[in-house]
Chains A and B, each alone.
Chain A
Amino acid sequence: MIPTALRGASKPWLLLLPLALFLCTFFLVPLGQVAMMSVTEPEPGFGNYAHLAGDALYLQVFLNTFLTAFGVAVGCLLLGYPLAYLMAQSSPRVAALLMLLVTMSFWTSFLVRTYAWMVLLGNNGPLTALLGFLGWDPPPHLLFTRFSSTLAMVHILIPYMVMSLYSVMKRIDPALLRAAESLGAKPWGVFRQVYLPLSAPGMVNGATLVFMICLGFYVTPVLLGSPQEQMVAGLIGTQIEEFLDFGQASAMAMVLLASTLIVLAVYHRRFGLDRLWG
């Protein structure tokens, strides 16, 4: 929607200026301050980082954060792929309806969704009752496990995966599939040898997005997971809220940021960042 007067103007980048200013003032400058704090508080030097490297709890939580994010990305992919496939094959109306259902969870408060899972998976919840009814005695504890927290995070993040996949799948030329069929490929062969590779960029995009967003998760694993499910973001919060240890917290945040950037860099080298949003 570029106004006619600006179209072909010699300095189109001027349009970026408001956003650039906004990001600079409210994002880059504070981020720079956090980076400064990590090497100046309580005293100048890299003491905070050295401390982190030798901190068993931090390393454990850091590793857990990555494993969790990876697991959630895989879960989103497994559940999101069939859905996105269905959407890509459906009529535009049905696809729009499905998209609405997927994005609806975006409009529900985050805490409400978390508590909804508590009700569904609880000791007196419908799922436990169903398992009991089917003869699982005593019914398993579903809540406060890795299962429950992963499930809830998959639920929260799956829209990103579905949108990434859908935008790629929509662009797959059906003629290619027909060509494969006419050359004698069976349906499974068409899917495996033609469709799946063509949709791979969507899988990578979605998984990368989900993985990176999940790295910063905090409330869901604490409320729905077992005590073992602590994530780095929570640890950072504790350092500030309870100990006023801004330096240590900043160092943790910088390490988390750096690892996210590394994931992005790897992605960029392999696939190109401009494709991340499909």
Chain B
Amino acid sequence: MSKDVEKAGDECAPQGWSRRSVIKAAAGTAGALAMPAIVRTARAAEVLYVNTWGGTWEKAAAKHLFEPFTRETGVEIRTVSPVSFAKLAAQVRTGVYEFDVTTLGGGDIVRANAAKIIDAVAGSPLGANGPWKDAVFENGVASHAFSTIIAYRTDRFPKGGPQTWADFWNRQDFPGSRCLQRYCARVLPLALLADGVPQDKLYPLDTERAFRALERIKPDLRVWWTQGQQSQQLLRDGEVDMVGIWHSRALELIDQGHPVGISWKQAEIDRAYWVVSKDTPRREIAWKFIQSAVQPERLAGFCREALYGPLNPAAFEFIPKEEADRMPTGPRNYPLAFEQNVEDFGGNLQKVTQRFEQWLAS
């Protein structure tokens, strides 16, 4: 039985992107990259294994991050998917490396750093502080962001759907079924915002209050999504009337012409960071790759294609305004959004998650 549930920072394949096409894309990339025969013979041994989310993510990364890097250095990039935090840990335990580089969310970075399974940025060519202000967070190099936003069926709310989390929690003015991600660390801050906690005073989270707030809409939460694709399907098929969903997923629905509206207000940002697996034999190339992957122009290309928001501010120089307005970190949307504080969560995440699951099961 495949355990196909996506976790933190999941940016998994949209429908229609099968394993075969992933392999094809990867093979195509590898083929194109290996083309200059001289380079191939000269550097045949140099390969870097990158852990990817597959799907659109990998397609965009291959085009904008992997291919330019190979052209430049001759290092062939092979991909492994999907992203698994557990595998990263297992690699360091066993010394068998399936991938050298991966992306992690903020919360995972803190845990990975504590578990000593990622390499220190300080000793890398990027230097301890990285290429721009706030580029480095605990041995991860900031790359791109996605956000959890409110999306709703415009046919169910012709006069305008919920715009804030308080609206989302308002069962009188916005009746209908609701859906959120089954992911405690992302849901609790939303409940607190809905309950009136100011955006800048969210952390450390008042978990008691968050659970009380969640209790208010529990009857309308018949289903909790666990996979990005599932969240899309639930809204598209009208199983739910509003959903807390990743912005890229909602934009895809709108682009496909479904009656879906979104709000960028109080968008909850998740950052993705590049990390290097600790003690990998290909450490040096790995850091070189990361350095290249966060260059403004390449990052911009990746984000435009995969519908992310770049975290390197310089990348916006290469992004047209109307596209920047579809990004959570763009100049219009970022002031409306809020960032999660993964260092000061407000309790032991494992215990809180346990409680969350228990609350769900009761």
Residues in A lying within 8 Å of B, measured CB to CB:
55-57, 60-61, 64, 110-111, 115, 118-119, 122-124, 141, 143-144, 216-219, 222-223, 226-228, 230, 233-235, 237-238, 240-245
**A111–B13 CA distance with the chains assembled, in angstroms:** 14
Question: Does B172 have its Cβ within 8 Å of any Cβ on chain A?
Answer: no
Q: Among the listed A111, A226, A234, A238, which residue makes an inter-chain contact with B222, where contact means beta carbons less than 8 Å apart? A: A226
Q: In the complex, which residue of chain A has the Cβ closest to the Cβ of B226?
A: A222
Whole-angstrom distance from the CB of B141 to the nearest CB of chain A? 22
A243 touches B4 (CB 8 A): no
Asked whether, in the complex, the Cβ of A244 is within 8 Å of the Cβ of B85, the reply is: yes
In angstroms, Cα B360 to Cα A228, docked, is 6
* B239 touching A122, Cβ below 8 Å: yes
Contact A242-B8, Cβ < 8 Å, known A57-B354, A60-B361, A216-B1? yes
A227-B360, A228-B360 known; A244+B111 contact, CB < 8 A: yes
Interchain CB contact under 8 A, A118 and B1 = no
Could you tell me if B5 and A219 are in contact, using CB atoms closer than 8 angstroms?
yes
Shortest beta-carbon distance from A33 to chain B in Å: 10
User: Which residues of chain B come closer than 8 Å to A219, judged between CB atoms?
Assistant: 1-5
* B222 contacts A217, C-beta separation under 8 Å: no
Q: Which residue of A lies closest to B350 (CB)?
A: A243
Known: A57-B354, A122-B239, A227-B182. A240 touches B86 (CB 8 A): yes
Q: Pick the contact of B239: A60, A61, A115, A143 (CB < 8 A).
A: A143
Task: Name B353's contact: one of A143, A217, A238 (CB within 8 Å).
Answer: A238
In the complex, chain A residues whose CB is within 8 Å of the CB of B8: 242
Question: Do residues B358 and A118 form an inter-chain contact, with CB atoms below 8 A?
Answer: no
- The reply on B14 being an interface residue by CB < 8 A is no
State the main secondary structure of chain A at its contact with B: helix
Among residues of A, the one whose C-beta sits closest to the C-beta of B85 is A241
Contact with A along B320-362 (1 / 0, CB 8 A): 0000000000000000000000000000011001100110111
- Nearest A residue to B6, CB-CB: A241
Mark each residue of chain B from 221 to 233: 1 if its CB lies under 8 Å from any CB of chain A, else 0: 1111010001001
How far apart are the CA atoms of A218 and B5 in the complex, in Å? 10
A61 / chain B contacts, CB cutoff of 8 Å: 361
Distance from A106 Cβ to chain B, minimum over Cβ atoms (Å):
13
Please state if A241 and B86 are interface contacts (CB–CB under 8 Å).
Answer: yes
A235 and B3 alpha carbons, distance in the complex (Å):
11
**Given A124-B238, A227-B224, CB of A60 within 8 Å of CB of B353:** no
Residue contact A56 to B182, C-beta cutoff 8 Å:
no
B361 contacts A222, CB within 8 Å? no
Within 8 A of A (CB), among B1-41: 1-5, 7-8
Query: Is the CB of B89 closer than 8 A to any CB of chain A?
Result: yes
Sample of 11 further A-B pairs with CB below 8 A, known A227-B223, A243-B111:
A60-B361, A110-B2, A123-B237, A144-B222, A218-B1, A227-B182, A227-B360, A228-B360, A230-B360, A242-B350, A243-B350
Q: Give the residue name and chain of the B residue nearest to A121 (CB).
A: B239
A217→B3 CA distance, assembly (Å): 10
Q: Does B84 belong to the interface (CB within 8 Å)?
A: yes
The chain B residue with its CB closest to the CB of A156 is: B1
Residue of B nearest to A213 (CB): B1
15 residue pairs from A and B, CB less than 8 Å apart: A55-B354, A60-B358, A60-B361, A61-B361, A110-B1, A144-B222, A144-B239, A218-B1, A219-B1, A226-B222, A227-B223, A238-B357, A242-B85, A242-B350, A243-B349
